[in-house]
Amino acid sequence: MTLPLNRFIAHETVRVCVNPACGVSVTSEALARLVPPQGTFGYDIIVHVGTRQFIHCCGEQEILQDLRHRGISISRSEIGVLTKKFIIYLAIAHRQSHPLLRKAMTGRGGYILHLDGTCEADSPHLMSVVDGMSELVLGNAKLPSENADQIVPFLRTIKRQYGTPVALVHDMAKAILVSVKKVFPGTPDFLCHFHFLRDIGKDLLNAPYDTLRKRLRVFGIQGFLRQHARKLKRSIEQDAAAMDACERWLQGDRHGDIPSPVTIVYVMIQWALEGRHEGDGYGFPFDRPCLSFYLRLHAIHEKLCCMRQACTGATRGQKHLLTALINSLDKTIADPAAKKNARILQEKTVVFDRLRNAMRIALPDDKNGLNDDGEAAMASIRKNVTSFCRELTTAVKNRPEPAYTKLLDQIERYRNKLFSDPISKKTPRGPVTIYPQRTNNIMERFFRDIRRGHRKRSGSNTMTRTLKTILADTPLVANLRDPDYFSMLLNGAQSLEERFSRIDIQLVREEIQLNERENRVVSPQVKRIIKRKDLMAKIGELAPFC
């Protein structure tokens, strides 16, 4: 089956040398360009299925319908097989392109190795290496766990294929720190500022934040407010005049109707609940929605108390609503543990945000989110961080605080890995100056795109099962969007289909067998044994001899 021919029957003449000692046979070149040896589906269908799934993020059912519309009869299970074949062909073509990729990177002055991994629940770690200059995926591996024994062989393979990088950028994972030091001794090694700040922020804020979140959960205030919001929503939001009056009044128009107390209460409840979603998209500790929610509870509690005193003409139902809300809020905001930890959080948040400003990354109210590459003058950042440390050291001397002392120790310990100077390299085109990115956000965006594509294809947020079954080289599909990479991958071929047809089928079969062994829970032999009905009886017979 191929896209232009649909289903067809091929009669192939195989020419064999008459000399039995020779054993050479010649098959049809025309058929070999269309369909893999002993295959049913053409290279064009393999490429079509792969690009539809990974580039256009289509689900299996959507691809199935598309192919049937083109006259190709295929099952969902066959689509899954073709998807894996697409990745295997792509991975082999990528490996065969290593010399061209290395030559291109040498012409630019080398490559900057960005290393990171992703996992979910008990899934394996999908670890990838990306060149920070071209943003191309260089290599991938599925590791049982993130430890140095697993990472070192992977990095040695990358070193053998592409040489020693100009610099390394990664997070603060201990296994990664140990591995890069072992495989790339002497190579400039830098920590991602975003990951460094995130880890410092978690150490600083996690304990009080976790306690505050638990106390809010104990009192169930969020559910209580949502319950009242649902009761009020239908009657208030359907009354367009009441909402218009409220909006005009909030904008300063005091000549129209005054909004009813119930409308104001409803707006305040929704405002408080919105605090649970407040943030700039960086996640904790940069975003602290529980603290924002708690502070908003304080604000609406104060306003509700004022309203109860001022609304002398309120109906019995309105007074009952105000009293119920105030009593529930009283219990929450008066809780000693919640009050204490909220105060600690506010104090430590000021210190943490000062460090964020000094490092000029993941700034409050910045709209770039994880697309922020932190482009700023390194000398200025180093100066700002030094000034921050000096001021905090003075504050710690006056009032000792173990958390701040630990923060200062962390900065001092990793100072050499935080601030990179420009790197000069000689290339065939002349000397070049390379500025290593100070963030590993290229990797964060990379894995975020993988997750977004998975959600779009499957409709599911969890990737645990996918990470268990996914081929390690699946992230290579991201490179296909780069025209220079695509040209090197084709290596003279006119299309991806033609490039795949040049790959030795034996290499593909070996990759398929290797993948089956890696993803197999138990071997077929073990499966045969455990299916025996007399298994336990036979084990009983063997037990005396064991």
Cα distance from N-terminal residue to C-terminal residue, the chain:
55
Please count the residues of the chain: 546
pLDDT at 489: 96
Distance CA 351, CA 244 (A): 42
pLDDT at 543: 59
Within 13 Å, how many C-alpha atoms sit on residue 527's CB side?
Answer: 5
Distance CA 451, CA 460 (A): 10
3-state secondary structure 254-323: CCCCCCCHHHHHHHHHHHHHHHHHCCCCCCCCCCCHHHHHHHHHHHHHHHHHHHHHHCCCCCHHHHHHHH
Contact indicator for 206, 179 with CB cutoff of 8 Å: no
pLDDT at 519: 66
| Closest of 468, 507, 496, 470 to residue 90, by C-alpha | 496
Q: Residue 184: enclosing H or E segment and its boundaries?
A: none
Contact indicator for 203, 408 with CB cutoff of 8 Å: no
pLDDT in tens for each of the 546 residues of the chain? 999 998 999 999 999 998 888 878 898 999 999 999 989 999 999 999 999 998 888 888 899 999 999 999 899 889 989 999 999 999 999 999 999 999 999 988 899 999 988 888 778 888 999 998 888 999 999 888 888 999 999 999 999 999 999 999 998 889 999 999 999 999 999 988 888 999 999 999 999 999 999 999 999 999 999 998 888 877 776 666 777 777 777 777 766 666 777 888 888 898 999 999 888 878 899 999 999 999 999 999 988 888 877 665 567 777 788 888 999 999 999 999 999 999 999 999 999 999 999 988 877 766 665 555 555 578 888 899 999 999 999 998 888 889 999 999 999 999 888 887 777 777 777 777 776 777 766 667 677 777 777 777 777 777 777 777 788 898 899 899 999 999 999 999 999 999 999 999 999 999 988 887 766 555 667 777 777 777 777 777 765 555
Tokens matching residue 229: 């919001």
Distance CA 349, CA 73 (A): 60
Q: What is the pTM of this model?
A: 0.78
Q: Residue 426: enclosing H or E segment and its boundaries?
A: strand 423-427
CATH no. of 110-188+425-458: 3.30.420.10
Long-range CB contact pairs, 329-337, < 8 A, 24+: 329/221, 329/297, 329/300, 329/301, 329/304, 330/301, 331/219, 332/215, 332/216, 332/219, 332/221, 332/297, 333/294, 333/297, 333/298, 333/301, 335/215, 335/219, 337/211, 337/215
Can you give the residue ranges of every domain in the chain? 15-98+462-526, 110-188+425-458, 192-419
pLDDT at 405: 93
Contact indicator for 194, 444 with CB cutoff of 8 Å: yes
Distance CA 511, CA 89 (A): 9
Distance CA 506, CA 261 (A): 77
**Residue 304 CB: number of other CB atoms within 10 A?**
20
Taking only Cα atoms into account, the Rg of the chain, rounded to an integer number of angstroms, comes to 31
pLDDT at 517: 73
